[in-house]
Amino acid sequence: MPSTSQCRVCGDQVTEFFDFGRQPLSDAFHTPGFDFEKEFFFRLAVGLCQGCTMVQLMEEVPRDNMFHEEYPYHSSGSAYMREHFEGLAKRLLATELTADDPFVVELGCNDGVMLKVMAESGVRHLGVEPSGGVADVAAAKGVRVRKSFFEESTAKEIAAEDGRADVIYAANTLCHIPYMESVLSGVRALLKPTGVFVFEDPYLGDIVERTSFDQIYDEHFFFFTARSVREMAARNGLELVDVERLPVHGGEVRYTLAPAGERTPSQAVADLLRDEAESGLAEPATLQEFGRKVTVIRDDLTGLLRRLKDEGKKVVAYGATAKSATVTNLCGITPDLVSFVCDTTPAKQGRVTPGTHIPVVTPDTFAADYPDYALLFAWNHADEIMAKEQAFRDAGGKWILYVPDVRIV
């Protein structure tokens, strides 16, 4: 019997469709001297709500275990993502923030990659960011930050102190928050009637289409679709008025919600809802098939890495992504199969990967002695990384990819 849990959006029954087994915190890069007896693990499994069709994790990890002073992810680490967020900021300035003295709030502003543009444009703004280390980096860029988790109480305090917002924005953050009812009542309390709540997160449609199962890890609690977001919005006095597909992070959707009845939903909403219905996206059979494909990738990838090891090849990995925790722990990829992972993030270097304890090194170590193969964990940044590391290929090196299937390029 598959396990069940209670939906964090509508309270109906969630039925599990895939179990990744015992998994660590995806961003817990411990130092080699850490007492690994104390390493945190939980059961990572994912299910579908029979009521509102929201796909979600079966177990919740306490938020303070994930988002704290040492949260290592820095959004500005990718040039492509910097451009993406700067473009979005400029668009918001030209469309939603044209009234007198507009006010924009960002949830999970991280190192200030988006709000920096608002600060430089002299627009009234506030970032809400619980992870102290990255919040300090944002503040150093001139961004106004409040170090807290966004929820109903925070939203009411902000509204009392700063007034209501024209735009509330969240990138790769809403899907991190299981306590959705509190967040959406907060959004309602903080948003002007004419305002919009814009958020972008990995899209279940892309995850299923590409079998990008490594989008599933502790921090990603929800996997949205237009249908489940529309339902979630409606339950909280909001309405889904626009959607836009984005190429970033392996495929995302940017959703725009407005207070119910304030704006006319765009044609794009109807189109995406229709596509989802036609493809049977959030249906049990589709998700079972997704699970079957995950086991094929798992077996192909472990088979390939074992064969390369037997052949005496040198294999390393590139990008100590949060996503890769799911891959390495599901497939049992330890330092005997992949000798190190290189990553540009100082907060990850000199540490080891969660659960599988592969050393994280600087990209210089990669370049000092090119391996035969590099397993690309940061596949969502493939274009940027492969261009930058052309010398590796020139030296005869090959990349290993595993989404949508295992292949060497």
Report the residue from 45, 48, 49, 137 that binds Zn ion according to the rule CB under 5 A: 49
In whole angstroms, the minimum distance from the beta carbon of 88 to ligand SAH comes to 10
Q: Shortest approach of ligand SAH to residue 372 CB, angstroms?
A: 32
Contact 142, 120 (CB under 8 A): yes
Among 190, 325, 352, 385, the residue binding ligand TMP under the rule CB under 6 A is 385
Tell which one of 345, 365, 386, 401 touches ligand TMP (CB under 6 A). 345
When asked if residue 326 is in the footprint of ligand TMP (CB under 6 A), the reply is no
**Distance, CA of 141 to CA of 194 (rounded, Å):** 30
State the helix-helix crossing angle for 284-310 and 323-331, rounded to 10 degrees.
Answer: 70
Beta carbon nearer to ligand SAH, 3 or 65? 65
Among 3, 6, 12, 279, binds Zn ion (CB under 5 A): 12
- Strand pairing of 103-107 and 252-259? unpaired
339 binds ligand TMP (CB under 6 A): no
In sequence order, the β-bridge partners of residue 16 are 47
| 380 belongs to the binding site for ligand TMP (CB under 6 A) | yes
Q: What are phi and psi of 240, to 5 degrees?
A: -80, 115
Pick the closer one to ligand SAH by CB: 45 or 113.
113
- The answer to the question of residue 180 lying near Zn ion (CB under 5 A) is no
Partner touching 220 among ligand TMP, ligand SAH, Zn ion, none, CB below 5 to 8 Å by kind: none
Q: What is residue 88's DSSP assignment?
A: H
Instruction: Choose the one of ligand SAH, Zn ion, ligand TMP, none that binds residue 173, judging by a C-beta under 5 to 8 angstroms depending on kind.
Output: ligand SAH
Give how many residues touch ligand TMP by CB under 6 A: 17
CA distance 225 to 207: 11
Q: CA 354 to CA 376: how far, in whole Å?
A: 17
19 to 38: interface string for ligand TMP, x by CB under 6 A: --------------------
Which of 54/338 has CB closer to Zn ion?
54
Least Å from the CB of residue 4 to Zn ion: 12
CB 278 within 8 A of CB 229: no
Helix/strand/coil for 381: helix
Contact in structure between 25 and 40 (CB atoms under 8 Å): yes
294 forms part of the interface with ligand TMP (CB under 6 A): no
Q: How far is the C-alpha of 406 from the C-alpha of 183, rounded, in Å? A: 38
Determine which residue in the list 344, 362, 382, 393 makes contact with ligand TMP, applying CB under 6 A. Answer: 344
Rounded distance, CA 250 to CA 240, Å? 23
Residue 243 binds which entry of Zn ion, ligand SAH, ligand TMP, none, with Cβ cut-offs from 5 to 8 Å by kind? none
Chain residue whose CB lies nearest ligand TMP = 319
282 versus 341: smaller Cβ distance to ligand TMP: 341
Report how far residue 91's alpha carbon sits from residue 246's, in angstroms, rounded to the nearest whole number: 15
Q: Shortest gap between Cβ of 11 and ligand SAH (angstroms)?
A: 21
If one asks whether residue 77 binds ligand TMP (CB under 6 A), the answer comes out as: yes
CB contact at 8 A, 48 and 291? no
Q: Are the C-beta atoms of residues 404 and 210 closer than 8 Å to each other?
A: yes
**Cα(338)–Cα(24) distance, rounded to whole angstroms?**
18
207: contact with ligand TMP by CB under 6 A:
no
Which residues lie near ligand SAH (CB under 6 A)? 67, 71, 73, 75, 107-108, 110, 128-131, 134, 149-150, 171-173, 176-177
3-state secondary structure of 167: strand
Q: Considering beta carbons, is residue 72 or 371 the nearer one to ligand SAH?
A: 72
Picked from Zn ion, ligand SAH, ligand TMP, none, the partner binding residue 131 (CB below 5 to 8 A depending on kind) is ligand SAH
- Rg of the Cα atoms in the chain: 21
For Zn ion, the binding residue among 21, 36, 41, 51 (CB under 5 A) is 51
Return the range that interacts with ligand TMP (CB under 6 A); candidates 94-102, 156-164, 180-188, 377-385. 377-385
Kind and range of the H or E element at 274? helix 267-279
Q: What are phi and psi of 136, to 5 degrees?
A: -65, -40
d(CA 55, CA 175): 11
Q: How far is CA 54 from CA 120, 184, 385, in A?
A: 38, 15, 33
**Residue 322 found at the interface with ligand TMP (CB under 6 A):** yes
Do residues 47 and 348 make contact, with C-beta atoms less than 8 angstroms apart? no
**Residues that bind Zn ion in the complex, under the rule CB under 5 A:** 7, 9-10, 12, 49, 51-52, 54
**Residues that bind ligand TMP in the complex, under the rule CB under 6 A:** 77-78, 319-323, 343-345, 348, 378, 380-381, 384-385, 388
